[in-house]
């Protein structure tokens, strides 16, 4: 069965809970008149992974694609006669990745995307004598002072997913909808080239920007030790390779999509920076179910109990839980009765979770900080006096809308759409007034100062709470979001039918 919409997702739904997965599940459920197939991209098979969501009845197919599974891993072999490879085109693509500018390599990729390459072609790209000669040439040209072993594995780790996507057979659909750039967006662009079906992309955050942050922090990517006061660009060549690869994938997806949806204006500026065409862009902010959160609490509780700050989200590095913990440690000097609840899954990055637990011990916060784990946030917003977000990167965090709707003021880092959500995006929106306080990323002192202000200034706390409720009710109703996507899908399904008839 050919689905109306093929959703392309990377590392989220249905295996990971969180804002994007929650949004996807609600979208599929609400738009029950459309049929959906889902392709989930992951690094490698994981037999212990289990879905966190039950698919609605209108999901007709689910496919798992593992981008780091080598060709032939499922069994079988390769033809003795290796196919002809356009090494000149591959060389041109590498020049693009090295320089970060357009080249004929993009057209080479389009040509290869027009048909599945086959396992034999992937084997030739990675294991043939020509591939080895090409790899040596690139090493001597681009990174002669780097570790060859690290260069070899960087080549393998960056190219295997690319070739796997070229070889992947995606379910045929009338419209493809990628929920990020990266590997999902690249696969959508390949599907557009092969099948001619429209491609939509929705970016909740800016995938490329988030990967750049991770690459900058990564210790597993080789960098040559510094021998002086200045950083030699050659020492960062392998990190640069990863960065250019992700930028390239975003640009390729942007060039081939029919419409590019962003949740925020600030993210649209990043998309344009990365090569998106403004004429194909549209803004569709997320919304929430007002009735679920609006009745939890109209104004702040008046009682002599503890001042409760909440953190709602995954315990992973991009959320910078450690800054939250350090901020609580600083704030308790002024708020002796402070309590902190961390509501969200702790199993996505067990090593980071253990680091956070150790930090709790070192800061002597064991009686103050409580890791709740995966839980229904409706059970926790009523007890919160403030929601705190310390993320290094965000799209349009739903937790801000949820907390504001429940009458909980927010302290958030000034990243992604946090400023838009807390201060407004139009004159009418801004007139409502702020519904939270903004801080710099990775700043425990600023975060602690904001928490203390909310604890000590009852008038400020109530103004922010009431403004948040009013803003969400007027501008962020989820019914409006689903109606917009319903219209978007119908428009492109009609175009898809017209192309098929032509």
**Which pLDDT belongs to residue 394?**
84
The pLDDT value given to residue 85 = 66
Q: Which long-range contacts (CB under 8 A, 24 or more apart) does 194-198 make?
A: 194/113, 194/114, 194/115, 196/499, 197/172, 197/173, 197/496, 198/258, 198/492, 198/495, 198/496
Residues 6+ apart with CB under 8 A from 298: 407, 469
Side-by-side strand order, sheet with 281-283:
59-66, 36-42, 3-10, 173-178, 199-203, 259-262, 281-283
How many Cα atoms within 13 Å fall on the side-chain side of residue 231? 5
User: Would the pLDDT of 282 be above 60?
Assistant: yes
325 vs 87, higher pLDDT: 325
- 10: DSSP letter: E
- CA distance from start to end of the chain: 22
CA distances, 264 to each of 130, 269, 282, 417 (Å): 46, 9, 10, 6
Mean pLDDT within 301-324: 90
The CA distance from 261 to 244, in Å, is 23
Structure confidence at residue 78 (pLDDT): 43
Q: Which of 86-100, 155-169, 370-384 has the highest mean pLDDT?
A: 370-384
pLDDT at residue 248, rounded to an integer: 87
> In which band, very low, low, confident or very high, does the pLDDT at 50 lie, cut at 50, 70 and 90?
very high
pLDDT in tens, 476-486: 999 999 999 99
| pLDDT class of 498 with cuts at 50, 70, 90 | confident
Mean pLDDT of 275-286: 94
Task: Give the helix/strand (H/E) hosting 89.
Answer: helix 87-99
Average pLDDT, the chain: 87
Is pLDDT of 195 > 70?
A: yes
Q: Which of 349, 364, 356, 267 is nearest to 311 (CA)?
A: 356
Q: Which of 151-160, 317-326, 452-461, 479-488 has the lowest mean pLDDT?
A: 151-160
What is the mean pLDDT of the segment spanning 458-482? 95
Convert the pLDDT of each residue in 409-434 to its tens digit: 999 999 989 999 999 998 999 999 99
By mean pLDDT, which of 139-153, 256-270, 388-402, 450-464 is the weakest? Answer: 139-153
How many angstroms separate the CA atoms of 465 and 266, rounded? Answer: 24
Helix or strand (DSSP H, E) at 343: strand 338-343
Looking at the chain, the whole-number percentage of residues with pLDDT higher than 70 is: 84
Q: Measured on CA atoms in the order 266, 267, 272, 274, is the torsion positive or negative?
A: positive
Contact (CB, 8 A) for 23 and 29: no
Q: What is the pLDDT of residues 54-67, one digit of tens each?
A: 999 999 999 999 99
Structure tokens at 498: 């017209």
List residues bridging with 63 in a β-sheet.
Answer: 39
pLDDT score recorded for residue 146: 82
Quick one: residue 371, left, alpha or beta (phi over 0 = left, psi -120 to 50 = alpha)? beta
Mean predicted confidence (pLDDT) in 82-102: 64
| Strand 173-178 to 199-203 pairing | parallel
Is residue 81 scored above 80 in pLDDT?
no
Q: How far is CA 386 from the centre of its chain?
A: 25
Residue 435 to residue 432: CA distance in whole angstroms: 9
Does the pLDDT value for residue 86 go beyond 80?
Answer: no
Give residue-wise pLDDT tens across range 359-389.
Answer: 999 999 999 999 999 999 999 999 999 999 9
186 with 249: CB under 8 angstroms?
Answer: yes
Query: Which domains, and CATH codes, for the chain?
Result: 1-66+169-287+478-502 (3.40.50.2000), 85-168 (no CATH), 290-475 (3.40.50.2000)
pLDDT for position 319:
97
Please give the residue that has the higher pLDDT: either 499 or 381.
Answer: 381
Q: How far apart are CA 225 and CA 361, in angstroms?
A: 33
* Four-residue CA torsion sign, 134, 136, 139, 144: negative
With a cut of 80, say whether residue 293 has pLDDT above it: yes
pLDDT category at 40 given cuts 50, 70, 90 is very high
DSSP secondary structure string for all residues of 213-240: HHHHH-SSS--PPP-SSS--GGGGHHHH
Q: How far apart are CA 390 and CA 11, in angstroms?
A: 22
How many angstroms separate the CA atoms of 83 and 336, rounded?
71
Percentage of the chain exceeding pLDDT 90: 58
CA 279 to chain centre: 23
pLDDT at position 223 over 70: no
Q: Please tell me the predicted confidence (pLDDT) of residue 299.
A: 45
Per-residue pLDDT at 99 = 59
Least confident of 24-33, 95-104, 196-205, 345-354: 95-104
- Strand ranges (DSSP E) for 250-306? 259-262, 281-283
Element spanning 242, H or E: helix 237-256
């Amino acid at each position: 069965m050919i689905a109306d919409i093929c959703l392309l997702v990377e590392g989220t739904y249905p295996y990971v809970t969180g804002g994007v997965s929650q949004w996807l599940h609600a979208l599929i459920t609400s738009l029950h008149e459309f049929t959906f197939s889902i392709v989930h991209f992951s690094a490698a098979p994981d037999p212990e992974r289990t879905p966190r969501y039950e698919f609605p009845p209108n999901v007709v197919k689910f496919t798992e694609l593992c981008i780091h599974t080598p060709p032939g891993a499922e069994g079988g072999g390769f033809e003795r006669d290796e196919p002809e490879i356009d090494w000149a085109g591959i060389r041109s693509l590498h020049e693009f990745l090295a320089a970060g500018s357009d080249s004929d390599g993009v057209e080479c990729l389009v040509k290869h995307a027009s048909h599945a390459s086959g396992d034999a072609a992937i084997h030739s790209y990675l294991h043939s004598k020509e591939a080895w000669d090409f790899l040596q040439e690139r090493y001597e040209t681009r990174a002669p002072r780097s570790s060859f072993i690290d260069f070899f594995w960087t080549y393998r780790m960056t190219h295997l997913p690319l070739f796997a996507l070229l070889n992947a057979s995606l379910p045929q659909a009338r419209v493809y909808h990628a929920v990020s750039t990266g590997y999902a967006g690249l696969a959508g662009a390949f599907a557009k080239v092969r099948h001619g079906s429209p491609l939509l992309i929705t970016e909740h955050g800016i995938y490329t920007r988030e990967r750049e942050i991770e690459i900058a922090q990564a210790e597993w990517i080789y960098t040559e030790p510094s021998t002086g006061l200045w950083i030699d660009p050659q020492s960062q060549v392998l990190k640069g390779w990863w960065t250019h690869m992700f930028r390239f994938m975003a640009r390729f997806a942007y060039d081939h999509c029919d419409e590019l949806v962003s949740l925020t204006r600030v993210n649209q500026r990043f998309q344009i920076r990365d090569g998106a065409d403004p004429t194909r862009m549209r803004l569709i902010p997320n919304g929430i179910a007002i009735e679920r959160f609006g009745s939890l609490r109209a104004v702040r509780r008046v009682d002599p109990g503890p001042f409760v700050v909440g953190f709602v989200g995954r315990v992973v590095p991009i959320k910078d839980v450690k800054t939250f913990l350090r901020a609580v440690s600083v704030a308790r000097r002024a708020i002796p009765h402070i309590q902190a609840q961390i509501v969200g899954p702790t199993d996505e990055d067990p090593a980071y979770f253990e680091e956070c637990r150790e930090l709790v011990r070192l800061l002597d916060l064991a009686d103050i900080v409580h890791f709740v784990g995966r839980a229904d946030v409706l059970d926790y917003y009523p007890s919160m006096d403030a929601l705190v977000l310390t993320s290094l990167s965000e799209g349009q965090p739903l937790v801000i809308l949820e907390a504001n709707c429940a009458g909980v003021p927010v302290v958030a880092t000034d990243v992604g759409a946090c400023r838009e959500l807390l201060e407004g995006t139009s004159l009418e929106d801004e007139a409502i007034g702020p519904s939270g306080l903004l801080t710099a990323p990775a700043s425990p002192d600023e975060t602690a100062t904001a928490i203390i202000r909310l604890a000590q200034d009852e008038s400020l706390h109530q103004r922010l709470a009431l403004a948040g409720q009013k803003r969400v009710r007027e501008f962020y109703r989820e019914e409006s979001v689903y109606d917009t996507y319903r219209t978007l899908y119908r428009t492109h399904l009609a175009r898809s039918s017209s192309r098929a008839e032509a």
